[in-house]
Chains A and B, each alone.
Chain A
């Protein structure tokens, strides 16, 4: 079935110089099926209007498209449509939580928000494998409130080291923020165990789900996290759209960061009252065409089935790992058993930038650099790595072309 899906993605027919394209950089951004592109175009050609205002027919259609996106996403990740807040991207979603807690710590949001308030006696816990988007905002929150920032370390196998979990996440911990799946190593983290520890000490759980939602079945209500963030563009959708998902009671208590139009109930010259979620986090004009297109993407993923997507990518990931093991001078970062089809590695004697350049000359697109995870790379003793990440449109042929090109890298640079 999966080899047939490839035809749904027009960009995969693009040629890179003289080579066909093997796109193994979906961890950075996914390609889009024709149906998603069509929805985007069709929205502007036939339905465009301002949402949540105006009594004309187009405004009703546009509002429907916008709200149906919420329903689609709730169907994908669990919860009700009101638990789905649109953001610019996952980074913004995570910042809304961190900055909302910061505002609560300064007395904003009244009594309901005091549950979030942090002070110097509290701690925030993250992990060493976070993307900068789920790391820097918590550093900022710690600096702003005086709370202590702690982190769970990473083992040589690329898994979270939970041996000190009980002392790192303790009674002082108010927030535990971690990634569901490492964007570098592909490791799937044990959410249940971490949530259980957070519950035991009364900490809120913030889940970075950017690398899980597009690649495996995820239900935030089953995982019992408090907040979660992911982006549309990594899940076959357009750029410029992210999701902040949260428990309704918490979303409605979290002080908004962006304020203005569309998020208020009443405004007087002295002060204003805010709407409940999701509108309370959606000030200003929203990316309606993006939401409509993402709803189509979610429908596409549901039709293929995320368990099948996961199994397919696991198989491709296995091909990559087995193939890389046969090439001398390549060290894979981490070897977690629970993983998605993403593999990061270091090529002995050749910098990642040069590896990527050579692979590109053979039509193979991979990511090089620190993948917005500098502390994790430092942990593995490198400043940069090369990452191959698969998605539902990749095939065993993509993996073969990648492995053939990779085997040529060290000879080309004269180190083998």
Chain B
């Protein structure tokens, strides 16, 4: 087995692609907190994810998603959900930014595990340009849904 394949398909990725943490029914309008929902599609392969963010009163974020796609995209959504369970909005944005930078590094960056946690396992993906979008799909949905949730909260404050 080539080492590149092992770098790409870290055990964490294979495990998370099966665990699919956060893969539960979306609440949509039944969510009590301020929420946002984003649907992202990878047009080249048809992978898709619908991810919902709920801003809870204690400052935490609830993440739920449903989707269908390759092991990289499903594992990425799963890791994102695990990270969100223990992070504030600001921390998640920091992780998102670090992850985005790592994915576009073409394999030239060392992942900062203190920031990225399990998301560091995706380092090998950055060497495969065709797969970067897979890893980023859930994060794109996260950012979009978060913007919506924050906008909804703003509106609420001003109302």
Residue pair B71, A351 in contact (C-beta under 8 Å): yes
B145 on the A face (CB < 8 A): no
Residues of B within 8 A of A18 (CB): 2
Q: Which of B2, B45, B134 is A370 in contact with, Cβ under 8 Å?
A: B45
Residue pair B5, A384 in contact (C-beta under 8 Å): no
Tell me, in angstroms, the Cα distance from A384 to B42 when the chains sit together.
11
Q: How many A-B residue pairs have CB under 8 A?
A: 56
Tell me, in angstroms, the Cα distance from A354 to B131 when the chains sit together.
10
Q: Which of B46, B69, B131 is A357 in contact with, Cβ under 8 Å?
A: B131
B72 on the A face (CB < 8 A): yes
Tell me, in angstroms, the Cα distance from A17 to B4 when the chains sit together.
10
- Known contacts A370-B46, A384-B46; is A353 also within 8 Å of B2 by CB? no
B56 on the A face (CB < 8 A): no
- B 93-135 to A, binary, CB cutoff 8 A, 1 in contact else 0: 0000000000000000000000000000000000010010010
Question: How many whole Å from B135's CB to the nearest CB in chain A?
Answer: 11
B70 on the A face (CB < 8 A): yes
Residues of A within 8 A of B154 (CB): none
A289 on the B face (CB < 8 A): no
Residue pair B14, A414 in contact (C-beta under 8 Å): yes
Residue pair A353, B14 in contact (C-beta under 8 Å): no
Residue pair A374, B14 in contact (C-beta under 8 Å): no
B8 on the A face (CB < 8 A): yes
Residue pair B45, A352 in contact (C-beta under 8 Å): yes
Residue pair B5, A351 in contact (C-beta under 8 Å): no
Residue pair B14, A383 in contact (C-beta under 8 Å): no
Residue pair B46, A377 in contact (C-beta under 8 Å): yes
Residues of A within 8 A of B1 (CB): 361, 412
Residue pair B128, A357 in contact (C-beta under 8 Å): yes
B44 on the A face (CB < 8 A): yes
A44 on the B face (CB < 8 A): no
A20 on the B face (CB < 8 A): no
Q: Which residue of A lies closest to B69 (CB)?
A: A351
Question: How many whole Å from B19's CB to the nearest CB in chain A?
Answer: 12
Which residues between 4 and 26 of chain A lie within 8 Å of chain B, taking CB atoms? 17-18
Which residues between 349 and 389 of chain A lie within 8 Å of chain B, taking CB atoms? 350-354, 357-358, 361, 368-370, 374, 377, 383-384
Question: How many whole Å from B108's CB to the nearest CB in chain A?
Answer: 19
Residue pair A413, B71 in contact (C-beta under 8 Å): yes
Residue pair B71, A369 in contact (C-beta under 8 Å): no
Question: How many whole Å from B127's CB to the nearest CB in chain A?
Answer: 12
Residue pair A353, B4 in contact (C-beta under 8 Å): no
- Known contacts A17-B2, A413-B14; is A353 also within 8 Å of B48 by CB? no
- B 42-86 to A, binary, CB cutoff 8 A, 1 in contact else 0: 001111100000000000000000001111101000000000000
Tell me, in angstroms, the Cα distance from A353 to B5 when the chains sit together.
13
Q: Which of B8, B14, B70 is A351 in contact with, Cβ under 8 Å?
A: B70
Q: Which residue of A lies closest to B11 (CB)?
A: A414
Tell me, in angstroms, the Cα distance from A98 to B48 when the chains sit together.
31
Residues of B within 8 A of A357 (CB): 5, 8, 128, 131
Q: Which residue of B lies closest to A377 (CB)?
A: B46
Q: Which of B4, B18, B46, B70 is A361 in contact with, Cβ under 8 Å?
A: B4
Tell me, in angstroms, the Cα distance from A325 to B127 when the chains sit together.
34
Question: How many whole Å from A370's CB to the nearest CB in chain B?
Answer: 5
Residue pair A353, B72 in contact (C-beta under 8 Å): yes
Residue pair A368, B45 in contact (C-beta under 8 Å): yes
Tell me, in angstroms, the Cα distance from A342 to B69 when the chains sit together.
24
Residue pair B14, A358 in contact (C-beta under 8 Å): no
Tell me, in angstroms, the Cα distance from A267 to B74 when the chains sit together.
59
Residue pair A358, B72 in contact (C-beta under 8 Å): no
Residues of B within 8 A of A361 (CB): 1-2, 4-5
Tell me, in angstroms, the Cα distance from A361 to B2 when the chains sit together.
7
Tell me, in angstroms, the Cα distance from A374 to B2 when the chains sit together.
33
Q: Which of B47, B131, B134 is A383 in contact with, Cβ under 8 Å?
A: B47
Question: How many whole Å from A204's CB to the nearest CB in chain B?
Answer: 31
Q: Please, could you name 20 A-B residue pairs with CB atoms under 8 Å apart, sorted by A?
A: A17-B2, A351-B71, A352-B70, A353-B47, A353-B72, A353-B131, A354-B9, A354-B70, A354-B71, A357-B131, A358-B5, A361-B1, A361-B2, A369-B45, A383-B69, A412-B1, A413-B9, A413-B14, A413-B71, A414-B14
Q: Which residues of B contact A (CB under 8 A)?
A: 1-2, 4-5, 8-9, 14, 18, 44-48, 68-72, 74, 128, 131, 134
In the complex, given contacts A352-B70, A353-B47, what are 18 additional A-B residue pairs having Cβ atoms less than 8 angstroms apart?
A351-B70, A351-B74, A353-B70, A354-B9, A354-B71, A357-B8, A369-B44, A369-B46, A370-B45, A370-B46, A383-B45, A383-B46, A383-B48, A384-B47, A412-B1, A413-B9, A413-B71, A414-B18
Closest 10 CB pairs of A and B: A353-B70, A351-B70, A369-B45, A383-B46, A361-B5, A370-B46, A354-B71, A361-B2, A384-B46, A354-B70
